């Protein structure tokens, strides 16, 4: 394996390390890598710390187990505790979740930006303010629709069903350089076509002089009085054993660990927000999966997943799309057991999986528990449960319109459904909330951005209220759910915050 110059892995570190820099960045995903590249380009001495390992494109295969072990935190098995619980996954590797996400790249809806600006008094966050950043991102990360030959039959069937219903369907936009359609997004793109941070902003930052330490967990943010002075942490040996310690003195600390790890780090560093919002206000965009069986061969794993989005119901907080799941992932979430599950899986190549993403109104919170780390709690509201049910019903309708013979719904104990009549009869009454099977890959909002320190944790440009030199720039700063894929918003805010920091660099002497 060739390791880029400037990147250090745990196996290269034999003793405790003490380093100094202008800005230390915690996390190398959409937020962290973007800030690192911007600051390095401006000549700031940058160190990026990433808890996960460095796994280059040539190491990516279709093996789900390999991906879960190497690219995800805790094997992708996070669980937000509630009724029902919501399973979630976080990336943990150089490049962060951008290495394992679907690469969907959408600008923040203008109505969301307006709401954030009005509710939180945020500055420089209108559509017009962010347009230049979005344009730069889309050019740099090659954002656009799929080449037609890469679109899978599962996506085509779902599009056909939705269009037969007369619904608005749009081609999905990804950060991809002529994606081959390997359908391997969630296990790492094996061609390097997906323009994740691993192949874009991380190498850019390194080429511009930034240093990156992989396999390095940050324990605490250090302070002198109210002002941050750096971080302490340690390298993580294979199997999770504790390696050499690390101390970094920095004039600026930027936290970009995602909506679970960022508040967890801030809290275990003894930081408090006067707003009381640190670790609260978690949104998860709950997803549910409808499984449909077709007579014809679908072979949904041949071709890119989520080639289209149904946006007909966006104003109701619902986004529908088809997502092919690998056999381990599908078997893991199907609400079936034993022989019945085996019989369903035997039809794997006749299956289309699709479902709603719900812009949620409920919120959750993160609590640090000594010895266990951050625990996530989330309560689905009755209103959101009704939205999930409606999204599932609409998805199933589209799949029947596309020719599905039967569908399985993501509710414990739900019978197989063979017609629209059966579907509507079954869903005429609310499904018990506890029986919903939900998961999430969009975690947002636990360090809310607000100009009012009584309402939010950070200000308009990610500066932590009351702690000079500390910044947050990841999805945790979102004041609420955005209803669409969040990656481009995270990158745009990171780029904007970095440039504002550069304009005021004299204050921090970086």
Per-residue tokens: 3: 């390791």
Residues 46-85 that bind another protein (CB under 8 A): 61-65, 68-69, 72, 74-77, 79, 83, 85
Nearer to another protein, 189 or 402 (CB): 189
String marking each residue 359-398 x if it binds another protein according to CB under 8 A? -------------x--------------------------
The answer to whether 280 touches 498, Cβ cutoff 8 Å, is: no
Question: What is the dihedral sign for C-alpha 437, 304, 157, 489?
Answer: positive
Query: DSSP letter at 319?
Result: E
Q: Which of 381, 412, 420, 466 binds another protein (CB under 8 A)?
A: 412
Residues 97-116 that bind another protein (CB under 8 A): 105-110
Q: Which of these, 78, 77, 84, 89, lies nearest to 411 by C-alpha position? A: 84
Q: Which of 101, 155, 182, 283 binds another protein (CB under 8 A)?
A: 182
CB of 151 to another protein, least distance (A): 12
CB of 350 to another protein, least distance (A): 9
Residues 464-493 that bind another protein (CB under 8 A): 484, 488
Residues 113-152 that bind another protein (CB under 8 A): 127, 134, 138-147, 149-150
Residues 205-224 that bind another protein (CB under 8 A): 207-208
Helix (H) or strand (E) holding 501: helix 487-503
Per-residue tokens: 480: 């609420």
Residues 11-30 that bind another protein (CB under 8 A): none
The answer to whether 441 touches 431, Cβ cutoff 8 Å, is: no
CB of 70 to another protein, least distance (A): 8
Q: CA–CA separation, 366 vs 101, rounded Å?
A: 23
Nearer to another protein, 120 or 488 (CB): 488
Q: CA–CA separation, 395 vs 133, rounded Å?
A: 34
318 phi and psi, to 5 degrees? -125, 130
Q: CA–CA separation, 466 vs 274, rounded Å?
A: 9
Q: Count residues near another protein (CB under 8 A).
A: 91
Candidate segments 14-22, 225-233, 320-328, 360-368, binder of another protein by CB under 8 A: 320-328
3-state secondary structure of 368: strand
String marking each residue 277-316 x if it binds another protein according to CB under 8 A? ----------------------x-xx--------xx-x--
Candidate segments 13-21, 219-227, 329-337, 393-401, binder of another protein by CB under 8 A: 329-337
Pairing of strands 7-8, 227-236: unpaired
459 phi and psi, to 5 degrees? -85, -170
Q: CA–CA separation, 94 vs 27, rounded Å?
A: 8
Answer yes or no whether residue 42 interacts with another protein by CB under 8 A: no
Nearer to another protein, 108 or 473 (CB): 108
Per-residue tokens: 341: 């599950």
Per-residue tokens: 349: 């190549």
Distances in Å between the Cα of 166 and the Cα atoms of 208, 263, 315, 390, 421 are 50, 43, 16, 17, 19
407 phi and psi, to 5 degrees? -135, 150
Nearer to another protein, 176 or 497 (CB): 176
Residues 232-271 that bind another protein (CB under 8 A): 240
| Other Cβ atoms closer than 10 A to 282 | 25
Q: Which of 55, 153, 159, 204 binds another protein (CB under 8 A)?
A: 204
Q: CA–CA separation, 195 vs 189, rounded Å?
A: 9
Nearer to another protein, 56 or 190 (CB): 190
Q: CA–CA separation, 324 vs 394, rounded Å?
A: 18
Q: CA–CA separation, 157 vs 296, rounded Å?
A: 11
CB of 379 to another protein, least distance (A): 15
Q: Which of 184, 283, 446, 473 binds another protein (CB under 8 A)?
A: 184
Query: DSSP letter at 171?
Result: E
Residues 159-178 that bind another protein (CB under 8 A): 168, 170-171, 173, 177-178
442 given a catalytic annotation: yes
Residues 422-451 that bind another protein (CB under 8 A): 432, 434-435, 437
Catalytic residue among 55, 285, 305, 442: 442
Residues 332-351 that bind another protein (CB under 8 A): 332-333, 337-341, 345-346, 348-349
The residues annotated as belonging to the active site are 442
């Amino acid at each position: 394996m060739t390791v880029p110059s400037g990147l250090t892995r745990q196996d290269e570190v034999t003793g405790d390390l003490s380093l100094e820099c202008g800005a230390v960045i915690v996390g190398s995903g959409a937020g962290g890598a973007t800030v690192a590249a911007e600051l390095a380009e401006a000549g700031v001495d940058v160190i990026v710390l990433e808890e996960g390992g460095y796994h280059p494109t040539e190491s990516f295969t279709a093996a789900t187990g390999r991906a879960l072990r190497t690219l995800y935190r805790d094997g992708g098995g996070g669980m937000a505790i509630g009724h029902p619980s919501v399973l979630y996954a976080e990336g943990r590797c150089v490049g962060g979740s951008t290495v394992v996400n679907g690469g969907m790249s959408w600008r923040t809806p203008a109505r969301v930006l307006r709401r954030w600006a009005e509710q939180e008094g945020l500055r420089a966050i209108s559509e017009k303010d962010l347009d230049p950043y979005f344009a730069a991102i889309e050019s740099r990360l090659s954002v656009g629709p799929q080449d037609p030959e890469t679109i899978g039959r599962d996506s085509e069937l779902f599009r056909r069903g939705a269009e037969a219903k007369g619904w608005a369907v749009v081609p999905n936009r990804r950060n991809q350089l002529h994606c081959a359609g390997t359908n391997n997004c969630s296990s790492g793109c094996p061609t390097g076509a997906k323009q994740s941070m691993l192949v874009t902003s991380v190498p850019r930052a390194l080429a511009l002089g930034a240093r990156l330490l992989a396999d390095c967990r940050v324990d605490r943010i250090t302070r002198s009085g109210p002002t941050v002075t750096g971080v302490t942490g340690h390298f993580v040996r294979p199997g999770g054993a504790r390696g050499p310690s690390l101390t970094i003195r920095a004039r600026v600390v930027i936290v970009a660990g995602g909506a679970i790890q960022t508040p967890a780090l801030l809290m275990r560093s003894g930081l408090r927000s006067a707003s009381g919002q640190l670790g609260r206000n978690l949104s998860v965009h709950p997803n549910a999966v409808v499984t449909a069986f077709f007579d014809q061969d679908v072979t949904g794993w041949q071709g890119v997943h989520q080639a289209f989005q149904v946006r007909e119901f966006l104003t109701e907080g619902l986004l529908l799309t088809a997502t092919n799941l690998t056999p381990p992932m599908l078997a893991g979430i199907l609400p079936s057991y034993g022989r019945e599950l085996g019989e369903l899986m035997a039809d794997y190549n006749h299956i289309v999986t699709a479902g709603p993403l719900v812009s949620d109104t409920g919120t959750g919170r993160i609590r640090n528990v000594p010895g266990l780390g951050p625990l996530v709690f989330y309560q689905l509201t009755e209103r959101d449960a009704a939205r999930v049910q409606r999204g599932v019903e609409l998805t199933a309708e589209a799949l029947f319109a596309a020719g599905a013979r039967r569908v399985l719904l993501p509710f414990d104990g739900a019978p197989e459904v063979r017609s629209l009549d059966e579907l509507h009869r079954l869903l005429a009454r609310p499904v018990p909330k506890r029986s919903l099977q939900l998961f999430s890959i969009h975690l947002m909002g636990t360090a809310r951005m607000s100009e009012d320190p009584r309402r939010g944790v950070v200000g308009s440009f990610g500066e932590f209220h009351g702690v000079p030199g500390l910044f947050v720039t990841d999805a945790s700063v979102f004041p609420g759910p955005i209803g669409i894929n969040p990656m481009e918003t995270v990158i745009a805010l990171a780029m904007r915050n970095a440039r504002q920091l550069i304009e005021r660099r004299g204050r921090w002497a970086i």
